[in-house]
Structure formats: C-alpha cells, structure tokens
Amino acid sequence: MKNTAPRHYAIAVAIAAIASLGCLLLSPGAASGDGAPVPIGSSQGSVELPDGSRIFAIEAGHGTAILRITAGGSVAARSERSKRLVLPGVSLQGPPGGASADGSTVVLTVAGALPYLVARSEVVVFDADSLRVRSRVELEGGWGFDAISPDGGTLFLVEYLNRSDPTEYRVRAYDLATDRFDPEPIVDSSTVDLTMRGAPQDRVTSPDGRWEYTAYDGAGGTPFLHALDLEAQRAYCVGLEAVPSRQGTGMSLEIDQAGEAITVSTWKFGETARVATDGFEVTDLRSEEGSAPTADSGVSPLAVVLVALAVVALLGAARIGFRRLVPAG
C-alpha cells in the first residue's frame, strides 16, 4: 500500500495557502473574531497569532494535519494527529476561536457530534509555537469551548445541561495548571430581568485580549451582548432593546481600535446600536440623524470570485490526485 501521508500533507498546505488568501481578501477590517457558548462542534478557517502567523487544522486521511503558516506563507511548524481535531467554532458568523491573546496556546476540540449530544468530551491544548500537545482535558458529558485566558492558563468551557436544549448551559473556568474547575459557574447576577438564551451570532475581542464580546439573538426574546472578562472571570449581559427580536439573527459586531465601543449591525438597519465598553451604556443608532439601512457587507465581489476560483482549482487538483491513487481496472 502506498504511503499517502505526503499527499495529504501537500493538500493540507495547499488548502491552508488558499485559506490564507481568503483571509486577506475577505477580512472585514477592524473586528477580531472569537466565540461563545454554542453547540458548534467545529469551524472552518484559521486563527491568527500576534506575530501574523496562522494556525490551521486540516483533515488528512482519518486524522488531522495542524499547521502554523507564517505571514509570508511558509510552514513554521506542523503536527499530525490520528484523531480528527478542529478549531472550535465560537459564533455562527465569525471565525473560529482557540488561540490565547499572547500567542502561546492554541486549543482544538475533537470533531464529531454536536457537543451537547455527546457522553464524553475532549479538549486538546497545544503549544502554539511548536504545536506540541501541552494538555488533554477529558470530561464526562457534553462540553464545548468558549474562550481562553490571555496568558493561556485558563479555559472557559461550556457545560451543556440539557441534551434536548442546547441553549441551557453554564460557563465554567478550568485551570490548566491544577487541572481543576472553579467551583462556581460564571454568571451575571445583575441582569435578573434578562433571559439569557439564544445562539451566538458574532463575537469580537478587546484589543488587549482581556474581553470577549458576543452577540446573542435572544431565542425570540431580547437580543443581548455577553461580555466575558477573561482575567477577572466575570460576565455581564447587556440587553439590546434597539435590536428587534426578529433582527437578532445575523447580527454582526465591530469594535473600535481603542476598544471603547462596539457597533452592532443588523441586516435591515445596518448600524443599529453602539455599546460603550466602560459601563455598557447602549445607544440606539436608528434614532440618530443620518442613520439608514445599508446592504454593504464590506466584501469585494472581486475577492469572492478570486477565492471561489482558487477553491475550484484545488478541488480539481485533489480529484486528479485521487484518481491516481485508484488502481486501474
């Protein structure tokens, strides 16, 4: 039997290169992505490190090729795993999560069923520079990745409480140094009048990596912004009454360069609300003079065409390679 590992690796590098092109062409600009407690088992794409390199987890046979690609496009590190691992999805629209703000640590999860349905969960922690495994966290029941502290020392994991309802969950802090959970879940006790349920639509991270801000659709109720302080291990939920409940699906977020304000946009109204990160005051932008609906996504049509052509070319190459592996007759 022929060894197909080099072929898998070559295809993985090609996919990573095309994905890097897509990141450059389709990036919306200021907002940096990240995730939230949701039943997302995996996500396509990559995570960027402070030095400009990116981490990819590419399916290779029955396993995974994990690559760190420099900003110049060269392979700085690689790791091959027998299990199918993925970068954790953290919102329905944004890129995956899993990288600590200091660039030291990357977290991957095991691909497969949605996390709230499984009987056992596993999270694998890698050194981002060498891509060597630092730790494995194996847990009974359904768990998902939410966030990682800026220094890579604490995981924030979602514990799903009801296999019939993925919107019932709680967030727990897990110390990698002691391999222990904090006994108390992370909740915002101040928002007693706000039902905190729903699916995460988009997420942005503060410039210093300390805060993760996630927009939730409210599951038919009031959409809200979930603010998670990764250092103090505190959470705040901010009701977004300016966003009609039917407009909660498809919300997008953008944070300014100073990290002082978050703009919430919806499909119908464009820029709909602005949230101050100091005090969480919400401004309804629909009432401001000059505000109007917008359909501008910030994505160049040419960029979409170029990425589509690159993907088609890769699929054609992969198909040819597959045919060469199948014996004639």
Looking at residue 297, its amino acid is S
194 versus 172: which is more confidently predicted? 172
Cα(140)–Cα(158) distance, integer angstroms: 13
- What is the average pLDDT across 132-136? 96
pLDDT at 191: 56
Judged against a pLDDT cut of 90, whether residue 151 lies above it is answered with yes
Cα(70)–Cα(78) distance, integer angstroms: 12
Q: Look at domain 5-296+303-325 and name its CATH class.
A: mainly beta
Only one residue has tokens 């060269």, namely 74
pLDDT at 187: 81
Q: What is the pLDDT of residues 38-85, one digit of tens each?
A: 445 455 689 999 999 999 999 999 899 999 999 999 999 999 999 999
pTM: 0.74
For 314, list phi and psi in degrees, rounded to 5. Answer: -65, -45
Q: What is the pLDDT of residues 285-324, one digit of tens each?
A: 987 544 444 444 444 443 444 445 454 444 554 444 433 3
| Residue from 156, 152, 126 nearest 144 by CA | 156
Domain residue limits, the chain: 5-296+303-325
Within 8 A by CB and 6+ apart from 195, the residues are 218, 219, 221, 222
- What is the average pLDDT across 184-207? 80
